[in-house]
Amino acid sequence: MAQSGFDRRRINGPEESFPPIYGDDDIENSVWKLGMTRKGRNPNDIRPIFLQPGLITQANGSAYIETDKTKVACAIYGPRQSKNATYNENGRLNVEVKFAPYSCEQRKAPMRDAEDRSLAVAIHQALLPSVRLELLPKSTIDVFIVIIESDGIEGCIASGSVAASTALADAGIEMFGLAVACSAALVGEEIWLDPTAHEVQASTGSLILSTMPALGLVTSVWQNGQMRPEQVLKCLDLCQERCTEIHSIVAQALLDNVRLS
Amino acid sequence: MSISKAEKSYIQTGLLSAPPRRQDGRSLLDFRSIALETGVVPLANGSARLLIADGTEILAATKLQVQDGPLPQLTCTVTCSPAAYPHLSPAALDDVQADLTALLNGTLSRHRPDNLTILPGKKAWALHLDIIVLADAGNVCDALFMAARAALWDTRVPRTRGVEYKARKDSGFDMQTAPPDFELADYWDDGEVLGGRDTWPVSITLNIESSVHYLDAILQEEASTPLRLLLMYSFPGPILQGMRTIGSGDLSLPQIKALLADGEKYALELMQALNAKLSEEDVRRNQKARDRFEQRY
């Protein structure tokens, strides 16, 4: 354990450390049992979204999104000339995801790990079909996403995709449509939209749907865990419905931002 | 792999023409022939080697290790031989490995075979699945899951029994605790098969070229197809264990629903074929080997 995530140029913490366990948190979670109704909201409700484009001034485009305990900042640099010399007819979309060390219950060592990579791949896939890369030969668009606070991987991917798409629009990069994403988890026989980390842990399967609601097209489906096909279909329908709502939030946030400046 | 625009267009036109034409003369839903052998790694607890038409070659092996504590998760690791991807830089190769590992881990690590406990709560077998991609001639995902399934099917868990040293009855001590240690019941016996070995999923990759989809793409076809839909199904059920879209193309929701139904059908066929082959391998390695041994004079 000591070797992975070890960087001699940093001040490294003790070899082994444990996050504190808070008493009341434990009680709250242990009360919920499988088969009980969802705490705090209805199964089909998503958490309220706060979205602000253009927070990072030095970037070409940026966005900050907050859904309850998930907080994600995204900055876009580009389109700029690709560093590698090989000619490429299409532009390249480069997505990098970083967890802040204090973003999770357990401290994340400030080094790239496999989880960053899989999140970046998921967000890249959610954005890729929406961006008109064929108009940007020999160029690269860099998408940097920082997860300031995380409440489950699913929420991070969904919020990260929404933030990145908003930031791309803010940067004035041509797209077919805004790509927005919504997650769902199967808890018992119920489908809960926009699940938190605890809810995903209690679930048997989870799904993230990314769509371009303006065109009615799906850009990415990302499913893990065990679900029956009919449950998957139901999840897809519910997520798409919510994506339309999220789309109007994104569009409104972009409009407000333009009016202000 | 990058191919020229002309070749790309040639392949796409072939796939969309009626009847569809593919480079190697297959129809859209034909797989290339698959060769599979289990028990190829003598030091592993289970292993398999899979070959798709002398192209894609995968070696999978499982290893069991005793671990303290409760039942650990299955860990999968995929390593890609640089020889399989000569055009990739070491960094890009690492990314490919990480992606395949994440895909396999995300799908398989939720399964908990029921007979890996040695001493309840104290010791258990940690199951590691290591896969090496020796060559890639297309459709590496489906091959990975097939090889993983074969290796896990082939895995034998050594039989163990708890050991405890009890004080004599008349000493007054009451020893009703669980056994603190274990031993192998039989050194020469391979052991029993993993619990629930027929519930491991198979993967089916649907390559989507505008209105049609096809299976088992070769490298050139993969390079010219805008979108792939990966479906991981397990039976009986069917239960969807994973779904991914890869590529720059897009789909509509009704299209996805139709593809899910189709994928389920193909996955079932693939699963049945794989099960038949695996049972045949079991017979070859046990029954037939024993017969051969008896008739050796």
Which domains does chain B carry?
A: 5-164+180-294 (3.30.230.70)
Q: What is the mean pLDDT of residues B189-196?
A: 83
Q: Is residue A71 part of a domain?
A: yes
According to the model, what pLDDT value does residue B169 have? 64
Chain A from 163 to 222: CB within 8 A of any B CB: 205, 207, 211-212, 215-222
Q: Is residue A128 part of a domain?
A: yes
Low-confidence winner among A3-12, A39-48, A115-124 (lowest mean pLDDT): A3-12
pLDDT tens across B125-177, in order?
Answer: 999 999 999 999 999 999 999 999 999 999 999 888 888 776 666 655 555 56
Look up residue A57 and give its amino acid. Answer: T
**Under DSSP, is residue B261 helix (H, G, I), strand (E, B) or coil?**
helix
- How far apart are alpha carbons B249 and B255 in whole angstroms? 13
Q: Is residue A113 part of a domain?
A: yes
**Under DSSP, is residue B212 helix (H, G, I), strand (E, B) or coil?**
strand
Q: Chain B: nearest CA to A260, how far in angstroms?
A: 34
Given an 8 Å threshold on Cβ–Cβ distance, is A221 in contact with B241?
A: no
Q: Which residue of A has its CA nearest to B4?
A: A89
Q: How many CB atoms lie within 10 A of CB B31?
A: 17
Q: Does A34 touch chain B (CB under 8 A)?
A: no
Q: Give A21's pLDDT tier (boundaries 50, 70, 90).
A: confident
Residue with tokens 């060769």: B35
* Owning domain of residue A152: 43-260
Q: Give A2's pLDDT tier (boundaries 50, 70, 90).
A: very low
Q: What is the mean pLDDT of residues A82-86?
A: 80
* pLDDT for residue A1 is more than 50: no
Determine how β-strand B181-184 pairs with β-strand B117-119: unpaired
Which residues are bridge partners to B212 per DSSP?
Answer: B209
Please say whether the beta carbons of B148 and B202 come within 8 A.
no
Q: Does B243 touch chain A (CB under 8 A)?
A: yes
Low-confidence winner among A144-148, B104-108, B129-133 (lowest mean pLDDT): B104-108
- Cis-peptide into A20, omega within 30 deg: no
Q: How many CB atoms lie within 10 A of CB A184?
A: 31
Q: Chain A: nearest CA to B245, how far in angstroms?
A: 5
Q: Give A29's pLDDT tier (boundaries 50, 70, 90).
A: low
- How far apart are alpha carbons A27 and A22 in whole angstroms? 9
Please say whether the beta carbons of B225 and B84 come within 8 A.
no
Residue of A224, A234, A236, A238 best to disrupt the B interface, most CBs of B under 10 A = A224
Which DSSP category does B194 fall into? P
Given an 8 Å threshold on Cβ–Cβ distance, is B245 in contact with A219?
A: yes
Domain count, chain A: 1
Q: Is residue A12 part of a domain?
A: no
CA angle B206, B209, B210 (to 5 degrees): 120
Please say whether the beta carbons of A13 and A108 come within 8 A.
no
Q: How many CB atoms lie within 10 A of CB A6?
A: 12
Residue A213's φ and ψ, nearest 5 degrees, are -60, -30
Within 8 A by CB and 6+ apart from A216, the residues are B252, B253
pLDDT tens across A149-173, in order?
Answer: 999 999 999 999 999 999 999 999 9
Q: Which residue of B has its CA nearest to A241?
A: B253
* pLDDT for residue A109 is more than 80: no
Chain A CB contacts of B240 under 8 Å are 205, 223, 226-229, 232
Q: Is residue A83 part of a domain?
A: yes
Residue B132's φ and ψ, nearest 5 degrees, are -115, 130
Secondary structure (DSSP) of chain A: --STT--TTS----SS------HHHHHHHHH--TTSPPSSS-TT----EEEEE---TTSSEEEEEEETTEEEEEEEEEEEE-SS-S--SS-EEEEEEEE-TTSSSSPPPSS--HHHHHHHHHHHHHHGGGB-GGGSTTEEEEEEEEEEE-S-HHHHHHHHHHHHHHHHHHTT--BSS--EEEEEEEETTEEEES--HHHHHH-SEEEEEEEETTTTEEEEEEEEEEE-HHHHHHHHHHHHHHHHHHHHHHHHHHHHHHHH-
Q: What is the mean pLDDT of residues B60-67?
A: 93
pLDDT tens across B202-251, in order?
Answer: 999 999 998 899 999 999 999 999 999 999 999 888 999 999 999 999 89
Q: Which of A82, A81, A88, A96 is nearest to A127 (CA)?
A: A96
**Under DSSP, is residue B139 helix (H, G, I), strand (E, B) or coil?**
coil
Please say whether the beta carbons of B207 and B13 come within 8 A.
no
Q: Is residue A32 part of a domain?
A: no
| Percentage of chain A modeled with pLDDT above 70 | 92
Residue of B250, B252, B266 best to disrupt the A interface, most CBs of A under 10 A = B250
Residue of B248, B259, B260, B268 best to disrupt the A interface, most CBs of A under 10 A = B248
Please say whether the beta carbons of B260 and B231 come within 8 A.
yes
Q: Which of A173, A91, A78 is nearest to A137 (CA)?
A: A91
Q: Does A52 touch chain B (CB under 8 A)?
A: no
Would you state the torsion angle of the CA atoms of residues B4, B8, B14, B20, taken in this order, to the nearest 10 degrees?
A: 140
- How far apart are alpha carbons A70 and B9 in whole angstroms? 44
Q: Is residue A38 part of a domain?
A: no
CA angle B257, B263, B265 (to 5 degrees): 115
In the sheet that holds A61-67, the strands lie side by side as A49-53, A61-67, A70-81, A139-149, A92-99
Residue from the list A205, A215, A232 with its beta carbon closest to the beta carbon of B260: A232
Within 8 A by CB and 6+ apart from B120, the residues are B178
Q: Which of A193, A192, A201 is nearest to A225 (CA)?
A: A201
Q: How many Cα atoms are found within 13 Å in the side-chain-facing hemisphere of B33?
A: 3
Residue from the list B95, B110, B243 with its beta carbon closest to the beta carbon of A223: B243
Please say whether the beta carbons of B235 and B266 come within 8 A.
no
Chain A from 133 to 172: CB within 8 A of any B CB: 133
Q: Is residue A174 part of a domain?
A: yes
Q: Quick one: CA dihedral A158, A118, B152, B259, positive or negative?
A: positive
Report the CATH number that the domain containing residue A167 is assigned in CATH. Answer: 3.30.230.70
Given an 8 Å threshold on Cβ–Cβ distance, is A218 in contact with B247?
A: no
Chain B from 146 to 175: CB within 8 A of any A CB: none
Instruction: Encode burial over B167-185: b for 16+ CB neighbours within 10 A, e otherwise.
Output: eeeeeeeeeeeeeeebeee
Given an 8 Å threshold on Cβ–Cβ distance, is A217 in contact with B250?
A: yes
